[in-house]
A and B are shown apart, each in its own frame.
Chain A
Amino acid sequence: MERGRANRAATIQQTGLDLPAFRDRVRSIKETAAQDPSIADAFAEAVRANGGRVFFAATARDGVRYVLDICRANGAEFLVKSKSLTSEEIEMNQGLAAEGIRAIETDLGELLCQVAGEKPSHLVFPAIHMTSDRIARMLTQAYGEAIAPEPSSILSAVRARLRPQFLAATVGVTGANIGIAETGSIVVETNEGNGRLVTSVPRVHIALIGLEKIVRRWEDAADLVRGHAISATGQRMTVYVSLISQRQSVAGDPMGREFHVIILDNGRTRMRADPVFREALNCIRCGACMNVCPTYGVTGGHVFGHIYPGPIGIPWTANVHGLEDAGFAHLCVSCGLCHEICPVDIDIPWMIAKVKEQDVDAHGQPIAERFFMASEAFAKIASLTAPFANGFLSHPAVRVAMEKTLGVDRRRTLPSFAGRTLRQRLRLRTPGSGHLGRVAFFPDLYAEYNNPNLGLKAIEILERLGYSVRVPDVQWSGMPYVSYGRLEKASKLAARNLRVLGRLVEEGYAIVSTEPTAVYMLRKVYPKLVVGDLAEKVAARSHGLFEFIEPRLSALQATPAREIDGFVGFHIPCHDRALSSGIPAMHFLERAGYRVRPVETGTCCGIAGTFGMKEGWLGYELSMAVGEKLFEQFRASGCELIATESSVCSLQLRDGLSREILHPLDMIHFDSSRPSSS
């Protein structure tokens, strides 16, 4: 998995591509293809003009039926195929087997899955979960001859085994990465060369293509080919990129060769009409989102997938196979990283939230999720009754009871509550005049109920810099509603907060928060929850504290509150990767005199909001498994202090590392002899 990630970065650097521009171009190409039905018609016409035959398959069954008919008409008892997810989508192999026709996978990874009787676990590396020892044992058994557990022996065994089948095959089936309407061509990309054989040796070639993969012109295809290689394995081009428009003769003789193209709908037209799910049609199947997804990385495609695995597999499965098969949506912890990395800028988390919503509507909601969605009400009561609540909540017997009745894992440290909330403590203060401007501080739950000192410190800094600060009458940001598929509640809450914030923005206020998730909600999610100008306006004026004060850092006389010789290991919260990637917070610490280094795996720490507080496998345990790599990196880094901005990430790091985790604001003092620059 790591290789996919590392190579991509190197390749992008090598090509010197302007990535955002490239992303926009690929996106506009895919959007046209996915949304304009006339492109598929033009493609079909051009294929026919080249002498090929075209079949529009409305459903998976229709597609399989057509392949079956062609096999029968040609007297084929088996066919050879190269990797095609679309053929898996329609469960072609099973459909053919039921009628006595064998489909032989020739792609190494797929073949290994077929021998093992498993489904692929990754779009690009289907056998990523198998070791060479296991593969050798499996093939020894299947082929009845001893195969050494070395990759080279495995390769030659597979090559020798498949050769006669290639040579005897009458029918070859491939997918198609792209269809080009202008010339009636398909692009078939393979690395192993099996695609070359499947399309040249058998007399009949059937290509199966999803409706959404057809583009109008060759230039469009060229961009997609490049985008595909960059994001998939990170090599510049797939080894064999074949442009096939028709069958060719063999040594001058046409030999009755046939070319068939099946254009598959299977729910795509419906997706095209859906304002949310149409986004999924833009996917170029590069696999990047699964390389980055924290929970997919731990569970793999067998758990985190049906036929389409990984993040993008969730909306695809829900649409082409149905909600019943999309239950793995709940493995998504809403970290947002898949959206960040997607070369086509697909908002996968938003589609996943929709799938979760449909699923929760149909199948009900786990109690723990209901509990966390009531976090604000709970926090209010707990802080009213602190310190009693704190003692109570840390009592082992209570935690056992909470685990049993509420599904909150007893092993998870929960944040304690402050007796007086931020707003209560601010009542005694008079806001400064603020020559620089006005700021509305958005505390979210943590700075309001758990750690008001943090809020006070943030406000103090803002005031020192010359802002007047108030805490508006907003509720929490409400991320758990989104994570747990309660979008209508999320929208209601967002609408309420936006009404308050919108007025302030009109009056010239900037909105600032110490909680990365709150900023992420305001900037990225509220505009989806409440469509319109208001949300956009608020989003444009919402900032993380450190990002907001970054231009004026020099005016702040900050010194380190801790004397250290070593460096600070900094954890970047996922939600901040979509915003500022922790850079302003690190600058802030550096400015105060610390040496700072990010310690990162590139993915999530594992807690993902309240997900990692839930009891059991689909909560605490998965979250710790995801975090393990990061914990290891922190242990190995030799950092003296650990800092992060996110309140929940800090819980996770504390539980995983048993060390003190600091907020950057806890790590500085101000020089009180020089109160402020103003």
Chain B
Amino acid sequence: MVALRDLKAEPHAVVTKPSTSQILRFLVDGHHAKRVVVANVPSALRPLVADGLRGLSVQFLEEVPSKDVVKACADADVGVTWAEFAIADDGAVVEVAHDDSARLAASLPIVHVVLLPTERLVQDIGEGMAAAGQLLRSSEPGHRPTITFISGPSRTGDIELRLLYGVHGPHSLHVMLLDWYPGR
């Protein structure tokens, strides 16, 4: 949690299953968001997400025609995606994408909410790198995922060496740590 804050990402502990929807709603409302895209979230969790976003314009990208995906993401205020695992020491969350809708949803909207199962935290960057390498090696040629380590919101040091957030990618990154997942 501390590591995430160091990176200017905002961690949120989600202890129980029902609170997942409530916390998601709270975050999205905090940004006055109207349109939300969701991608790469395990199907078991989709009803919870849908529940939290009731009343807003929500698109699950798996159900959107491919040619409309980029536009849907560009028009959205918030993108909700899934992290395969994360690195406790450094606060980097790791996205594993077999489909680019996940990457588009995570990088076009100004706010990115990422769901992360707390049990999938690895300790340090060495372990994280090894896990990513394992994923790549075990995939077949032509079916390799695109893996991205995300350390905080989009950032630049290009103006007078000051750190500024949200140039091209999201300027806010919320990490929902799902303590309860996968549950019994």
Task: Give A residues with C-beta under 8 Å from B.
Answer: 1, 3-4, 46, 49-51, 106-109, 112, 125-128, 130-132, 135, 151-152, 154-155, 158-159, 162-163, 166-167, 182-185, 191-194, 196-197, 199-201, 218-219, 222, 225-226, 233, 235-253, 255
Contact = CB atoms under 8 A, between A and B. Distances in A.
A441 to B, nearest CB: 47
Contacts of A162: 168
B62 A251 contact: yes
Given A192-B168, A239-B150, A251-B66, A128 B161 contact: yes
A300 B159 CA distance: 16
Contact of B69 (A46, A109, A128, A251): A251
Given A193-B107, A219-B130, A237-B90, 15 more contacts: A3-B157, A4-B161, A50-B144, A51-B142, A125-B161, A154-B159, A191-B155, A191-B157, A200-B107, A222-B129, A239-B152, A241-B149, A248-B146, A250-B99, A255-B67
Contacts of A135: 159
Contact of B107 (A50, A155, A197, A246): A197
A237 B144 contact: no
A546 B69 CA distance: 69
Contact of B148 (A131, A191, A219, A240): A240
B174 interface: no
A1 B161 CA distance: 8
Interface residues of B, number: 57
B98 to A, nearest CB: 6
A152 B136 contact: no
Contacts of A159: 166-168
Given A250-B100, A251-B65, A185 B154 contact: no
A239 B155 contact: yes
A108 to B, nearest CB: 4
A109 B158 contact: yes
A250 B136 CA distance: 20
B103 A200 contact: yes
Interface string B130-170: 10110011000110111111111111111111101011111
A50 B140 CA distance: 8
Nearest to B133: A218
Contacts of A194: 167-169
Given A197-B107, A233-B157, A242-B146, A252 B99 contact: yes
Contact of A255 (B66, B130, B137, B160): B66
A236 B108 CA distance: 24
A249 B67 CA distance: 11
B101 A251 contact: yes
Nearest to B158: A109
Given A3-B161, A248-B100, A50 B141 contact: yes
Given A155-B167, A185-B144, A248 B104 contact: no
Contacts of B167: 108, 155, 158-159, 192-194
Contacts of A244: 146
A248 B98 contact: yes
Mostly helix, strand, loop or mixed at chain B's interface? mixed
Nearest to B161: A3
Contacts of A126: 158
Nearest to A46: B141
Contacts of B99: 248-252
A652 B44 CA distance: 72
A247 to B, nearest CB: 8
A167 B104 CA distance: 11
A64 B5 CA distance: 43
B142 A197 contact: no
Contact of B154 (A1, A131, A192, A247): A192
Residue of A107, A185, A201, A243 ringed by the most chain B CB atoms within 10 A: A243
Contacts of A226: 125
B144 A182 contact: no
A200 B103 CA distance: 7
Interface string B97-136: 1111101101110000000000000000110011011001
Contacts of A158: 167
B56 to A, nearest CB: 20
Contacts of A184: 141, 144
B70 A201 contact: yes
B27 interface: no
B148 A242 contact: yes
Given A50-B144, A239-B155, A241-B149, A197 B108 contact: yes
Contacts of B168: 106, 159, 162, 166, 192-194, 196-197
Given A155-B164, A192-B155, A248-B99, A236 B66 contact: no
A250 B67 CA distance: 8
12 contacts: A3-B157, A49-B142, A106-B168, A128-B161, A155-B156, A191-B156, A192-B167, A196-B169, A225-B129, A241-B149, A248-B100, A250-B104
Contacts of B166: 155, 159
Contacts of B126: 222
A222 B66 contact: no
A109 B167 CA distance: 11
